Amino acid sequence: MKNLSAFLFSILDKFMRFIELPTVYLQKKIGVQRMGYLFVAPNMVLFSLFVFLPVGLAIAYAFTGGTNMLIWDRPFIGFENFSRLLNCGSYMDPASCEFDLFWTAIHNTWWYTLLNATGTLVMALITAVVLNRLTKGKALFRSIFFYPVLLSPVVVGLIWKWFLARDGLLNSLVLDLGGERTIFLLEVWWSRFWVVYVSIWFHMGFFTLIILAGLQAIPRDIYEAAKVDGTSEWRQFWRITLPLLTPNLLVVAVLLLIRSVQVFDEAWVLTDGGGPGTANTFIVQFIYQTAFSSEVRLYGLASAASVLMGLALLALTLIQVWLAKKAEY
C-alpha cells in the first residue's frame, strides 16, 4: 500500500513539474501581472461566444426587416421595428397600439414584476429571519426551503398545473370541505394569483439563502449591546438588521427584478401559453412567439423588443443601485 502511494505521488509530482515548465516560461515572457488575464481568457472566450455575440446579433437584427433568418439576407430598415412597437395612441391602452400584444405583455409583465419581486423579497426576508433564530434543525429547514430551486421550471409548472386542475388535488380538497369547484387556471384573476404564487414558492429559497448569509455575517455583539441598552427586538430589526442587510437586499432586489421581467418557463407551462386569453402573456413570451412560433417569423421585431427589454432592465437596475447608495449616505 505504501509503495502504491509513493508511486502515485511520484506520478503526480512529475505531472505538476510538467505543467510548471510552460507556466514559468509564460510568466517570464508576459510578466506576473499579466498572468491573471491568461487564466481568465478561456472563460472570457466562452462568455463572449454565448453572451456578447448573441447580444450583438440581437441588436443587429433589430435594425433589419424581412423574414429571412440569415442576417446578410435581411434588408437594413433603421429604426422602423422600434417605431412600430412604440406606435401607440395611448401607452396605457394596448388596444390603441399597432402591436397591441406587445403592450399587453408589457402591462402583464409590469404587474407581475411588482407583485412577484415584492412578495418574494418579503417572504424571503421573513423566512431568513426565522431560520436565523432557530437553534435546532436549521440545516434541515434550509434544505426544505431551497429544494424547489433545484427543480426544472417545466417540472414546477406541470406539478402545479396538475394540483390546480379542474379535477386536481386542490379542487378535491375544496369539495371535501363543502366548497364549489373552481377552474383556477381559466379565470383571469385566479390564474394571475397562482402564477405569482408559484413563482414565489419556486424562487424564494434561493433568495432566502442570500439574506440568511447576510444575517449570519452581522456580529452578535451589536445585538447584545442593544439588549443591554433596553432596545426592543422590533427596534433592533429596523435599526440594526435592515441597515446592515442593505447590500444583500440590494443584490436580491436586482436579481428579482431581472428574473421577474424574464419570466417565461413556469408561467408558459402552468397557463398553457399565457392564458386565459392573453391574461398571462409576458414580454419574453411575446418575443418567443414573434420570432419562432408565429406563421410569419418577424426576427427583427422580436429582436427590437429584446433590445427594449434589455434597456428597460438596465435603467431599472441603475435606478435601484442609485437609490440604495443614496439611502446609505
Task: Give yes or no for residue 210 having a pLDDT over 70.
Answer: yes
Using a 10 angstrom Cβ sphere, with 0-12 exposed, 13-18 middle and 19 or more buried, the burial of residue 166 is: exposed
Percent of the chain with pLDDT over 90: 11
Q: At which residue does the C-alpha cell 406563421 appear?
A: 295
Confidence of residue 14 (pLDDT cuts 50, 70, 90): low
Residue 238 is predicted with a pLDDT of: 85
Residue 329 is predicted with a pLDDT of: 62
User: Model confidence over 110-122: pLDDT tens digits?
Assistant: 999 999 999 999 9
Task: Give yes or no for residue 12 having a pLDDT over 80.
Answer: no
Judge contact between 112 and 195, C-beta under 8 A.
yes
C-alpha cell at 246: 442593505
User: CA of 242: how far to CAs of 194, 199, 239, 246, 319, in Å?
Assistant: 30, 25, 7, 6, 20
Task: Give yes or no for residue 200 having a pLDDT over 90.
Answer: yes
User: Model confidence over 50-108: pLDDT tens digits?
Assistant: 888 888 888 999 898 888 888 888 888 888 888 888 888 887 888 888 888 888 999 99
Give the separation between CA 46 and CA 123, rounded to whole angstroms.
Answer: 36
Per-chain mean pLDDT for the chain: 84
Give the separation between CA 321 and CA 32, rounded to whole angstroms.
Answer: 35
Give the separation between CA 199 and CA 116, rounded to whole angstroms.
Answer: 7
Q: Work out the average pLDDT over 157-180.
A: 85
Confidence of residue 17 (pLDDT cuts 50, 70, 90): low
Q: Work out the average pLDDT over 244-259.
A: 86
Confidence of residue 195 (pLDDT cuts 50, 70, 90): very high
pTM for the complete prediction? 0.82
Task: Give yes or no for residue 297 having a pLDDT over 60.
Answer: yes
Q: At which residue does the C-alpha cell 432566502 appear?
A: 208
Residue 174 is predicted with a pLDDT of: 83
Q: What are the φ and ψ backbone dihedral angles of 317, each rounded to 5 degrees?
A: -65, -45
Give the separation between CA 108 and CA 102, rounded to whole angstroms.
Answer: 10
Confidence of residue 328 (pLDDT cuts 50, 70, 90): low
CA triple 178-175-153, angle to 5 deg: 140
Q: Work out the average pLDDT over 246-272.
A: 88
Domain boundaries, the chain: 1-32, 101-328
Give the separation between CA 313 and CA 262, rounded to whole angstroms.
Answer: 10
DSSP assignment of 251-302 equals HHHHHHHHHHHT--HHHHHHTTTT-STTTT--HHHHHHIIIIISSS--HHHH
Residue 10 is predicted with a pLDDT of: 72
Residue 133 is predicted with a pLDDT of: 83
Task: Give yes or no for residue 2 having a pLDDT over 60.
Answer: no
Give me the CATH topology for the region 101-328.
MetI-like fold (1.10.3720)
Using a 10 angstrom Cβ sphere, with 0-12 exposed, 13-18 middle and 19 or more buried, the burial of residue 301 is: buried
**Residue 159: CA atoms inside 13 Å, Cβ hemisphere, count?**
11
Residue 114 is predicted with a pLDDT of: 92
